[in-house]
Amino acid sequence: MMMSPTEKVNPMLQLPHAQFSQSGPEPPTGREAAPNPAPKDAAGAASPEPAKADAVDDRIVRVRDLHLYYGTSQALSAVTMDFQRHQVSALIGPSGCGKSTLLRCLNRMNDLIDDVRTTGAILLDGQDITDPALDVIELRRRVGMVFQRATPFPKSIYENVAYGLRIAGVSRRAALDEAVEKSLHRAALWDEVKDRLRESALGLSGGQHQRLCIARAIAVNPEIILMDEPCSALDPRSTTRIEDLIAELRGEYTIIIVTHNMQQAARVSDFTAFLYEGALVEVGPTKQLFTKPQKKETEDYITGRFG
Amino acid sequence: MINGLGVFWPAAIVEATLDDGRTVLGQWMRTETNPDTGVESVQLKTANRDFDPQRMDFHWYPAPTIRELVLPGDVYVLERAENGDCYGFLVQLTAPTLELPEGGTPDEQLREALAEARRRRADEITPIARQLAALGAELQQTRNAILKLEYRARHGGFTGSPSRQTSGIVEEGPNSGEFGYRTGPNSGESGYAGRLAELRAEESRIRQASDRLVAQKGALEADLRKNTARFRLASGQVQAIALLDVVRAYQPNSMSWTAKVGHYLAKVWELLSEEPRESNTEGGLFPAIFGTVMLVFLMSMTCFPLGVLAGVYLGEYAREGALVRLVRIAVNNLAGIPSIVYGIFGLGFFVYGLGGVMDRWLFPERVEAGIPTYGTGGILWASLTLGILTVPVVIVATEESLRTIPRGFREGSYALGATKLQTLLRVLLPMASPGIMTGFILAMARAAGEVAPLMITGVVKLAPNLPLDGQAPFFHLDRKFMHLGFHIYDIGFQSPNVEATKPMVYVTTLLLVLIVLAMSSVAIYLRNRMKKRYQARAM
């Protein structure tokens, strides 16, 4: 029914790149050779910020030919794509397609699993984060993560938010107080919990738990926030609040969200990537991907014909 | 155990008149029917062991021979410092050296006299006994100093720093140090001789002082002992009993209910606070209670950190492999080894191995004199032995409760830039703490009731000193100690007078169970608080 992944992906490699790259100088990244002149209107339309001067590369993360194996089974094959700075990118695809795995590569969460092997490169501001010698702790401070299941630590609300700072060595009361308040404000949780910061975080509701986890991630001031199906365990109302929150955080943080829910991807993201069976099928500005998918598989998936 | 509750309740004393005309006084114990003859017999505790022709305080009487039973209201029960209780009727009080108020009934006078005798002993004799104990400790120190000095002289280390020379120590004859002089090769040195003479003088001064005190104490006691009360026993004979020997006197048959409660509480208090009397069959259990609790505390201090560290290592750090699996199997099997095997291991490894080495390094002079310090059983070695006996439970509990923490919590922490250690200390261990505590409670309960390994690593039936007291360095971990479990074994099965010790066995058993219960309750309370604080709802 489909071509083998390698045959299929190769021609596509050019596509996301072409759409995403601004007309800046292309750093040498091995396989990606010549910069493709992009149809500027596509990227420009999706991005609220106009393309800046090329002092800062707008592609904060560049994934290049990433292969990942769990033991002998391959979970990602030849993924090459970029993530835009200060934008929301969504990863969609059927279960087991590797979108969470890809997400977890970005802060090396897969290190925790035995028997994981990767090849290829992931460049975060030009630095390859798949390098075994990399300081993973430092990386995870720059790339925060929110999980599918909210896991507030069995501590007070205050200590949950302050956790990341404390382990980073911040112990000044005033600094912690300020960061906690700011993060809770940003996570739209402050008004609900300001009077009970010292109470256990376990007493909050499920939606509040997830916002607390977002506040916890924000507190260490990361550049990127990874969200792994953050709303899949929440009711519609809490989901709306999280989505509003994502919209608010956009522009300040780079957000990469994995979701099963295509409406959600359409609502919150600027760019969407569709993965299938460990390979990237298509990536593009969200509007375009949902209205004019370039690939038949994408169209089939978003119209619900398979998956 | 239920029997233990009733032991201190003042039981009625019956006066039985027998067919042969004899009268006996005693506490009704029980009746039994001889299965062969069908004859029912009654066991009475007749006490008065020292006056009994057979030197027994329990007798059986065939029920048909008992002609009459009465409850004499004025019969006295005297708890004595020696020879057990005495049952009898007060005849006359003779108190030549006590100042007593005039008048009152004979019963009142006896009470007054007993109180006065007790007060005199507390005022006059107890301080002397205390001084004697202090002198004893001083004497021991001086003797140690002499030993040390002689040792250094023998090994040429007197003028320099203390010698750590250890060769040839074991071959030296024992018992050279206690009293025998041994002039070393360096005895010619004036410093050595002078110092030795000083110490010898000190030793004899202390001895003389304590001899004087002993004499003084003896005289005071003899004087107080002149105060006696004469009691008529059931057999009709009249005996004088020194008031000083009477610990407590009461008339159970005419006591009011409140008086009985008071008596009961006083006895319970005595049990908890006093030292044992009469080869552990009477008096208190304080040293044994203290020893048990301290043993469990010391044991916890070894097994808890060791178990948690090992569990954390096995669960979090060790790379899964053949060796780790082997270790895990070994740990699980350790929990099933009979405790006496641990005792033998403790004796061989801790007492003879570690203790021997410590003695040779720290107290070579005492080794040479044949006096072991750590090289013999003591509370330290006993608690370490119990520690390794209980550590598998804690290891397994730690590993298990770390494993059951959902992965999300680890990832949540790592995602915030936490290191493995930070995650462990700040998130995982607090969350695992209720489970670890559960394992610890099990370990503690097992340790508190364990006797077999203690018997060969340092428990004794009667320890002269507590392992913790007011004399520097306060903790005497080398000392032997008493333990409730061993106490039960000792008085229940090693005592020549089984009937007399029975109540104490009941009481001690009850107490041991209560102490284990109390310690477990504290731990369970702590665990429940932790649970409330740290355990996330099912996620």
Kindly write down the DSSP assignment for every residue of B458-469, as one continuous string: TB-S--SS-SB-
Percent of chain B surpassing pLDDT 90: 12
* Dihedral (CA of B144, B150, B155, B158) sign: positive
Q: Is A164 an interface residue toward B (CB < 8 Å)?
A: yes
Q: Could you tell me the strand order of the sheet in which A59-70 lies? A: A73-84, A59-70, A116-124, A127-128
Interface of B with A in 515-534 (CB under 8 A): 533-534
Q: Is B472 an interface residue toward A (CB < 8 Å)?
A: no
Mean pLDDT of B124-146: 85
**pLDDT band per the 50, 70, 90 thresholds, residue A67:** very high
Chain B neighbors of A149, CB-CB under 8 A: 406, 408, 539
By DSSP bridging, strand A116-124 and strand A59-70 are antiparallel
- pLDDT at residue B510 greater than cutoff 50: yes
CA pair distance B147, B124, nearest whole angstrom: 35
**First-to-last C-alpha distance (Å) of chain A:** 14
| Interface contact B416-A154, CB threshold 8 A | no
**pLDDT band per the 50, 70, 90 thresholds, residue B535:** low
How much is the pLDDT for A306? 67
* Dihedral (CA of B161, B167, B168, B174) sign: positive
Provide the mean pLDDT of chain B: 82
Mean pLDDT of B232-246: 85
CA–CA min distance B437, chain A (Å): 17
- The closest alpha carbon to A221, from A129, A139, A144, belongs to A144
* Dihedral (CA of A102, A108, A114, A117) sign: positive
Which homologous superfamily does the CATH classification assign to the domain defined by B282-534? MetI-like (1.10.3720.10)
**pLDDT band per the 50, 70, 90 thresholds, residue B321:** confident
| Interface contact B408-A151, CB threshold 8 A | yes
Chain B neighbors of A202, CB-CB under 8 A: 536-537
Six token digits for residue B233: 């026993």
CA pair distance B477, B471, nearest whole angstrom: 13
How much is the pLDDT for B384? 92
Mean pLDDT of B468-492: 80
Six token digits for residue B387: 């520690």
Q: Is B408 an interface residue toward A (CB < 8 Å)?
A: yes
Percent of chain A surpassing pLDDT 70: 81
The shortest CB-CB distance from B410 to any of A112, A140, A152 is to A112
Percent of chain B surpassing pLDDT 70: 91
Poorest-pLDDT segment among A188-192, A285-289, B121-125: B121-125
How much is the pLDDT for A3? 43
Q: Is A220 an interface residue toward B (CB < 8 Å)?
A: yes
Which residue is closest to B421 within chain A, CA to CA? A167
Which residue is closest to B416 within chain A, CA to CA? A164
Q: Is A154 an interface residue toward B (CB < 8 Å)?
A: yes
Output the CA torsion A209→A170→A143→B411 (10° steps): -50
How much is the pLDDT for B471? 67
**pLDDT band per the 50, 70, 90 thresholds, residue A216:** very high
Which residue is closest to B433 within chain A, CA to CA? A154
Mean pLDDT of A42-70: 65
Chain A neighbors of B416, CB-CB under 8 A: 140-141, 144, 163-164, 167, 216-217, 220
Of A45 and A98, the one with more pLDDT:
A98
**pLDDT band per the 50, 70, 90 thresholds, residue B472:** low
How much is the pLDDT for A283? 92
The shortest CB-CB distance from A147 to any of B408, B418, B536 is to B408
Q: Which residues partner with B459 through β-bridges?
A: B481
Six token digits for residue B253: 């048959």
| Interface contact A144-B533, CB threshold 8 A | no
CA pair distance B173, B364, nearest whole angstrom: 13
| Interface contact A200-B533, CB threshold 8 A | yes
Q: Which backbone phi and psi does B326 adopt, to 5 degrees?
A: -65, -45
CA–CA min distance A103, chain B (Å): 12
Mean pLDDT of B499-510: 84
Of A39 and A120, the one with more pLDDT:
A120
Chain B neighbors of A137, CB-CB under 8 A: 417-419
pLDDT in tens, B250-309: 888 888 888 888 888 988 888 888 888 766 667 788 888 888 989 999 999 989 999 999
Of B49 and A235, the one with more pLDDT:
A235
| Interface contact A167-B416, CB threshold 8 A | yes
Local structure of residue B62 (DSSP, 8 states):
E
**pLDDT band per the 50, 70, 90 thresholds, residue B470:** low
CA pair distance A261, A90, nearest whole angstrom: 10
Poorest-pLDDT segment among B144-158, B345-359, B494-508: B144-158
Contact in structure between A106 and A188 (CB atoms under 8 Å)? no
Q: Is A109 an interface residue toward B (CB < 8 Å)?
A: yes
| Interface contact B416-A217, CB threshold 8 A | yes
CA pair distance A174, B367, nearest whole angstrom: 61
Q: Is B416 an interface residue toward A (CB < 8 Å)?
A: yes
- Which ipTM score applies to this complex? 0.77
Selected for mutation to probe chain B from A163, A170, A224, A227 (highest B CB count within 10 Å) is: A163
- Three-state secondary structure string covering A60-94: EEEEEEEEEEECCEEEEEEEEEEEECCCEEEEECC
Chain A neighbors of B435, CB-CB under 8 A: none
- pLDDT at residue A188 greater than cutoff 50: yes
Chain A neighbors of B412, CB-CB under 8 A: 147, 151, 153, 213, 216
CA–CA min distance B312, chain A (Å): 17
Other beta carbons within 10 Å of B30: 8
A5-20+71-147+223-302 CATH pick, 3.40.50.300, 3.40.50.10860, 3.40.109.10, 3.10.20.30:
3.40.50.300
Mean pLDDT of B144-160: 71
| Interface contact A202-B418, CB threshold 8 A | no
Of A211 and B319, the one with more pLDDT:
A211
| Interface contact A109-B406, CB threshold 8 A | no
Six token digits for residue A235: 């009711």
Chain pair A-B, CB pairs under 8 angstroms: 75
- pLDDT at residue A48 greater than cutoff 60: no
How much is the pLDDT for B144? 81
Which residue is closest to B431 within chain A, CA to CA? A154
CA pair distance A26, A36, nearest whole angstrom: 9
| Interface contact B427-A217, CB threshold 8 A | no
Residues 6+ apart with CB under 8 A from A277: A5, A97, A98
Output the CA torsion B502→B8→B449→B294 (10° steps): -130
| Interface contact A213-B412, CB threshold 8 A | yes
**First-to-last C-alpha distance (Å) of chain B:** 45
Give the start-to-end residue ranges of the domains of chain A. 5-20+71-147+223-302
